[in-house]
Amino acid sequence: MDSGLLDSNTHLGINAPPKDRIRIRKMTTCAPIPVEGKYSTNWTSEKKHGVEMYLPTSPPEDAHKYYYLGDSWLFGFHVSNYTHVVSNLSVGFSPLPYKLEIRSAYPQNSTESGFAPIPELSRTDADVTVLLLNNRVSYTGKVLDPWFQATLPIGGNRLNEAWISNSTLTGVGCTEQYQFCNSNRCTPLSGGYDPRFLEAPRDLGFSPIQQATHRLLVYSVLSVRMNPILMFLRNEILLASTLVYGAFGISGPLPDTQWQTEMEGIHNISMTGLQRSVVGHAAEPNLHIRPGVELHSFIVPETDPLNLHLCRNQKFRTATHSSFSMFGLCFLVLTCTLVIVTSLSLPNLVHRIQRRSPNGVVPRLAWIEDDVLQLQRIALEGRGIGPWKQRWDGVPVTTGFGKKFRRDMASTFTEWGQISEIFKPLTEPESGREPGELEGLKNHMQVGQDS
């Protein structure tokens, strides 16, 4: 799983010109590990040194199983010659459907490492993490996924047929590698404590602002590695947990690639945590810890001028504020206003010009007569319905309100009588038309009759 090159400005929100930006990349590689048999003992009553640290309440008669993926270490001190141990009681009476254990090794930092990997798992150019899963879920179908495998059929009170895991633990091993880049060069892929990763400013010739950005990203990357995320979230990080039905420990079957889905989810959470950590450097929320105690009381304010510069230039999305272009908004409002005003005023302006032009009377009246409402008026007049007023405006109406008309009156009118009815309102005072305009319309209609 490769994050690609993440730009400090584009992806992490550190506002800076191109010459002061840097890029970071994370690559996570995982594969299943057959921990049962090859790297484990059988159940034994032998209680080896260090069991008390893992199982402090284990009774003397309890049976144990030891897993050998490398010696265990704690804060730089050797703890045991095995990686993990489980007891018969700890496995048989666990209330959790999934129980996840994590061990990580950092080649250049033995103090932070939890184990020293065996040669098959050892890497000098990557951080190594082993995930051990105890699976106590009953599935309604067979599961062939190597991490969640459940191929042992059982029967029970809740289910007529179910499948469970026949392995005490199943394992997945992962490596994490990081890389810094400027505009034309990159450091090699390496672990989080590798000098090539930590000394990237010297090797890549970073500017002072780039050096401050590098320090911030190193801190953020190390805080969201796989180990701290898994140690904090534990079993809740597993997507398969959402399919378990309540406290019954029953789940539907899982696909054969479920372990890949889980690793992708962990990698994505790490990337999200990186973005969140960078934003938190500038604006950490003030969480309430207990009455009278809040998170901000434990935060040491920045004093370095370059780090303060990063804080003042941090961009992030927020639901409480919105960002918009004032120029774009004003341009949109003015343009829409101009279109509306033009649409409302243009017909009246053209109407006034045509009324004052002898050549514009007939075209304007023809335009009015072709309107839908005017055509309807003409059709109604042909049926003997009228008289009308405002017949040369946009909306003609009858002179009387509520007057009833017979449905068929066309036969009582002659052709000339119909034309006379059309001309009648033109001689009435309420028409409000200029004499030249009315005379032009009459001449137009007379020419039409002569033709």
* Separation of alpha carbons 142 and 161, rounded Å: 10
- Is residue 446 assigned to a domain? yes
Both 158 and 297 in one domain: the answer is yes
Confidence of residue 445 (pLDDT cuts 50, 70, 90): very low
Both 134 and 225 in one domain: the answer is yes
Tell me the pTM: 0.70
Both 299 and 391 in one domain: the answer is no
* Separation of alpha carbons 326 and 313, rounded Å: 21
| pLDDT per residue as tens digits for the range 398-433 | 887 766 666 554 444 444 344 445 444 444 444 444
| pLDDT per residue as tens digits for the range 62-72 | 899 999 999 99
Domain end call among 312, 346, 373: 312
Domain end call among 312, 346, 368: 312
Per-residue confidence (pLDDT) for residue 428, from 0 to 100: 44
Confirm if 130 and 171 have CB atoms less than 8 A apart. Answer: yes
DSSP state string for 71-98:
EEEETTEEEESSSEEEEHHHHHT---SE
Instruction: Give the residue numbers spanning the domain of 127.
Output: 6-312
Both 306 and 382 in one domain: the answer is no
Both 257 and 388 in one domain: the answer is no
Both 303 and 374 in one domain: the answer is no
Both 307 and 366 in one domain: the answer is no
Confidence of residue 296 (pLDDT cuts 50, 70, 90): confident
Identify residue 163 by its one-letter amino acid code.
W
Mean pLDDT of 123-148: 94
Cβ-Cβ contacts under 8 Å for 260 (sequence gap 6 or more): 30
Q: Look up tokens 């033709």; give the residue.
A: 451
Per-residue confidence (pLDDT) for residue 364, from 0 to 100: 72
- Is residue 194 assigned to a domain? yes
Both 285 and 399 in one domain: the answer is no
Mean pLDDT of 185-195: 92
Both 194 and 268 in one domain: the answer is yes
Domain count, the chain: 2
Per-residue confidence (pLDDT) for residue 169, from 0 to 100: 94
Q: Burial of 279 by CB count in 10 Å (0-12 exposed, 13-18 middle, 19+ buried)?
A: buried
- Is residue 344 assigned to a domain? no
Confidence of residue 51 (pLDDT cuts 50, 70, 90): confident
In the DSSP assignment, the letter for residue 14 is B
| pLDDT per residue as tens digits for the range 82-114 | 999 999 888 877 788 999 999 999 999 989 999
* Separation of alpha carbons 181 and 7, rounded Å: 9
Confirm if 391 and 375 have CB atoms less than 8 A apart. Answer: no
Both 85 and 201 in one domain: the answer is yes
Per-residue confidence (pLDDT) for residue 447, from 0 to 100: 41
- Is residue 388 assigned to a domain? yes
Beta strands across the sheet bearing 250-251: 152-154, 162-164, 138-139, 250-251, 244-245
| pLDDT per residue as tens digits for the range 314-336 | 888 777 777 778 999 999 999 99
Both 111 and 49 in one domain: the answer is yes
- Is residue 329 assigned to a domain? no
Confirm if 115 and 84 have CB atoms less than 8 A apart. Answer: no
Closest to 181 in 3D by CA, of 147, 214, 132: 214
| pLDDT per residue as tens digits for the range 216-258 | 999 999 999 999 999 999 889 999 999 998 777 899 999 999 9
Q: Look up tokens 């029970």; give the residue.
A: 156
| pLDDT per residue as tens digits for the range 369-394 | 778 888 888 888 887 787 888 776 77
- Lowest-pLDDT range, 15-24, 26-35, 241-250, 422-431? 422-431
Closest to 179 in 3D by CA, of 140, 134, 126, 216: 126
- Is residue 379 assigned to a domain? yes
Q: Which two tokens stand for residue 253?
A: 């079957």
Confidence of residue 446 (pLDDT cuts 50, 70, 90): very low
Identify residue 88 by its one-letter amino acid code.
N
Both 418 and 276 in one domain: the answer is no
- Is residue 298 assigned to a domain? yes
Per-residue confidence (pLDDT) for residue 264, from 0 to 100: 96
Percentage with pLDDT > 90 across the chain? 50
Per-residue confidence (pLDDT) for residue 449, from 0 to 100: 42
Q: Is residue 80 scored above 80 in pLDDT?
A: yes
Domain end call among 293, 312, 331: 312
Q: Is residue 7 scored above 70 in pLDDT?
A: yes
Q: Is residue 140 scored above 70 in pLDDT?
A: yes
417 versus 47: the higher-pLDDT residue is: 47
- Is residue 317 assigned to a domain? no
Identify residue 448 by its one-letter amino acid code.
G
Per-residue confidence (pLDDT) for residue 95, from 0 to 100: 80
Q: Is residue 358 scored above 80 in pLDDT?
A: no
Confirm if 310 and 282 have CB atoms less than 8 A apart. Answer: yes
